[in-house]
Structure 1
């Protein structure tokens, strides 16, 4: 291992939520970022920081070193070394299942779905669902994304010269997409109510508890997550009703949607299909993840385009030349390289899953450091994507980094994870993001509002607290 990757012994390194990492001084202006911290927080301080913004517990050393370790109720190791990440995500996958904290946060809503399950139960579901998200099937869902892009443009145009919260607009657009590709042709339902239920669950149940930090068993109730039962019942009732309605439908549609594909999905090795509970859990997983993460990416991408007008102008020129006053389609993606690079760089700077974690099941060594069973392995994607050993000027917005993807080390860039558990919907999300962003940039100019920069805050996902407020003006 090179000197750059030598482990730093930081057993006592703790972040201080009040410390700002680095002083910009006369340096070039940079997009908003979370101030990483340098001094001990202690147990209660860490809890307060994590409940406010999980990223506030990240030490500044995480962007300077390949590994940082400590103890806070449980032993933990933050890993930013690509080779160590390869070992966790691929070579020793079964020895590093998802952590109990992650499962405790999400299991009430999405059960033993693909995102939560482990071992054989995960493998058969993955084999069954993988063809659903094949390139051909995802491209077939493109017209829904194109239509959502047109509707978003109309809504934004209707707001005239008033500032627009693009975070809200992108949530609405991506929710329309996931609802249409999931429930098309089914019984009518209150989409706004379902969306509110999802938002409420994330806000109420997604905050880390002191019991999580202490590593207490999942069967012990977490304060603050006990009042989500009505929200959960509402979410699950919609999924159950949609499945029942689709099973009762006599005539299948000409083009299968996500629900049709899931109902027909089967494990190619065993022929097993999902029962109604498994279908409902996975539907809710795809609904929550399928619009939340893409909406966040688009909101941040529009902020970055407003932050750098020159890049925005170049991307708009590209989009106008390709689209010529129509919305983008999957057939346009190869002709929109700069738009895709903006999405890639946005996912680097503001990864929706800013932190993921695993629980070690067997002794191991990562970066020459001993890993013990039950240690928590933290993959701080936000810090990995800004690690100075891996990226030049990591806090700068520079889509050109991705002009040649071969120059990006595979395990230095993990917006969708990697290995067998890589996000199954990554192709869907990227297609949707490029279609929507290119369409919007071809129709509108976006500019910053002084004093209203978004604030990156992570609860379950990395959101712009308070929204992404921009001035918007038509290009034509």
Structure 2
């Protein structure tokens, strides 16, 4: 991912975040809802065909939902970010095959003791390293071509004008088109490719995992499943899906929030302190706190935090409704509590934590 948003150094991150954020504006999101719908319909048709196959006596029909949701997320990212249709729901795209190849190699490198791939000639001699180079070339060539095509048809404009475009009539309503057309945001092709690569790799697995766990939890809780279905039927009564209607799916959003609490994506975060600091002891920690030297890597187990009985009632239970009621505990030092009315109109519940150090160390 080079210097994409996730692995970027601080200066690059600040500059690229400032450039990319305006791309996610209201009219673009509305256009993306149409992309979501188009891609979701593909997945639904595929799942219905598999169900029909099972109904006709093929009892061996097993559906890997995580795989199907990964394909769905990849197709959405492809169209929404690059204006490229992978159509991975219906066929095996060579680009997507290459993406998974690079992910497997990244996992291998993160867990192998000796970085042998840095040795001279290894990338040409070792078969898996040759495959990795080949996979990376497939992805980079694809992104380079898309960037080249976008730049050849560039229509430079100020951010305000770009945010007022008629995306319903735009041939390639993608984030790439927005970034290329943005006046004053000239960037070399390598950085742009790194940004796009980051969204492709980091965006699809996390989304697929949230969808998979949400369905998994609903399947185990039929009452909540029926409640979710009833809300969808009432909000989408005419079948048309818009961004405004999605905001009215309040219970669906709570299901996603609760699924993220039980199975957070990612379950672990790593942060590095930029300067010396002192964190409080937190729950059952040292009362004098902890000195943190500059350069310290801090691992935050979000999974443990989200299942801690110190913060949550019935922490291992699937209860989307928990986010509809206020919660406060005077015994939790530095926590102002949770109030669902604190952020009226917000898409997702939020809270105010008076001391982030408490959250870091309390689990």
Query: How much does 1:210 deviate?
Result: 5.8
CA distance in 1, matches of 2:215, 2:82: 29
Structure 2 partner of 1:239: 143
- Native 8 Å contact 1:181 1:257 kept in 2: yes
CA distance in 2, matches of 1:335, 1:187: 30
Q: TM-score, with normalisation over the residues of structure 2?
A: 0.72
Per-residue Cα deviation, 1:51-75 (whole angstroms, up to 9, x for no partner)? xxxxxxxxxxxxxxxxxxxxxxxxx
Q: 1:230 aligns with which of 134, 139, 155?
A: 134
Q: 2:83 aligns with which of 184, 188, 192?
A: 184
SS at match of 1:383: helix
Q: 1:283 aligns with which of 193, 196, 220?
A: 196
Say whether residues 1:261 and 2:184 are aligned partners: no
SS at match of 2:93: helix
Distance of aligned partners of 1:186 and 1:317 in 2 relative to their CA distance in 1, 3 Å threshold: closer
CA distance in 1, matches of 2:206, 2:79: 17
Distance of aligned partners of 1:327 and 1:347 in 2 relative to their CA distance in 1, 3 Å threshold: farther
Structure 1: runs of 5+ lacking an equivalent: 1-109, 414-426, 431-476
Query: How much does 1:319 deviate?
Result: 0.8
Query: How much does 1:312 deviate?
Result: 0.4
CA distance in 2, matches of 1:412, 1:174: 36
Query: How much does 1:226 deviate?
Result: 4.5
Structure 2 partner of 1:339: 252
Q: 1:158 aligns with which of 33, 49, 52?
A: 49
CA distance in 2, matches of 1:315, 1:188: 28
Query: How much does 1:404 deviate?
Result: 5.1
Say whether residues 1:122 and 2:13 are aligned partners: yes
Structure 2 partner of 1:418: none
- Greater fraction of residues in strand: 1
Q: 2:23 aligns with which of 118, 124, 132?
A: 132
RMSD: 3.6
Say whether residues 1:370 and 2:291 are aligned partners: yes
Query: How much does 1:172 deviate?
Result: 1.7
Pairing 1:1-150 to 2, within 5 Å after superposition? 110-150=1-41
Structure 2 partner of 1:58: none
Distance of aligned partners of 1:211 and 1:360 in 2 relative to their CA distance in 1, 3 Å threshold: farther
Pairing 1:382-461 to 2, within 5 Å after superposition? 382-403=303-324
Structure 1 partner of 2:352: none
Query: How much does 1:209 deviate?
Result: 3.0
- Native 8 Å contact 1:296 1:352 kept in 2: yes
CA distance in 2, matches of 1:180, 1:411: 42
Query: How much does 1:195 deviate?
Result: 1.4
SS at match of 1:378: strand
Structure 2 partner of 1:329: 242
Q: 2:70 aligns with which of 146, 162, 171?
A: 171
SS at match of 1:114: coil
Q: Which structure would you say has the larger RCO, counting Cα contacts within 8 Å and 6 or more residues apart?
A: 1
Distance of aligned partners of 1:371 and 1:288 in 2 relative to their CA distance in 1, 3 Å threshold: same
- Native 8 Å contact 1:146 1:327 kept in 2: no
Distance of aligned partners of 1:210 and 1:369 in 2 relative to their CA distance in 1, 3 Å threshold: farther
Structure 2 partner of 1:79: none
SS at match of 2:267: coil
Query: How much does 1:406 deviate?
Result: 8.4
Query: How much does 1:187 deviate?
Result: 11
CA distance in 2, matches of 1:291, 1:211: 28
- Native 8 Å contact 2:78 2:85 kept in 1: no
Q: TM-score, with normalisation over the residues of structure 1?
A: 0.56
Query: How much does 1:360 deviate?
Result: 2.9
- Native 8 Å contact 1:357 1:377 kept in 2: yes
Per-residue Cα deviation, 1:31-57 (whole angstroms, up to 9, x for no partner)? xxxxxxxxxxxxxxxxxxxxxxxxxxx
Query: How much does 1:380 deviate?
Result: 1.3
Query: How much does 1:242 deviate?
Result: 0.8
- Native 8 Å contact 1:363 1:370 kept in 2: yes
CA distance in 1, matches of 2:233, 2:335: 34
Q: Alignment length, in residue pairs? A: 298
Query: How much does 1:186 deviate?
Result: 8.8
Q: Which has the larger radius of gyration?
A: 2
Query: How much does 1:259 deviate?
Result: 1.3
325-334 or 162-171: bigger deviation = 325-334
Q: 2:103 aligns with which of 202, 205, 218?
A: 202
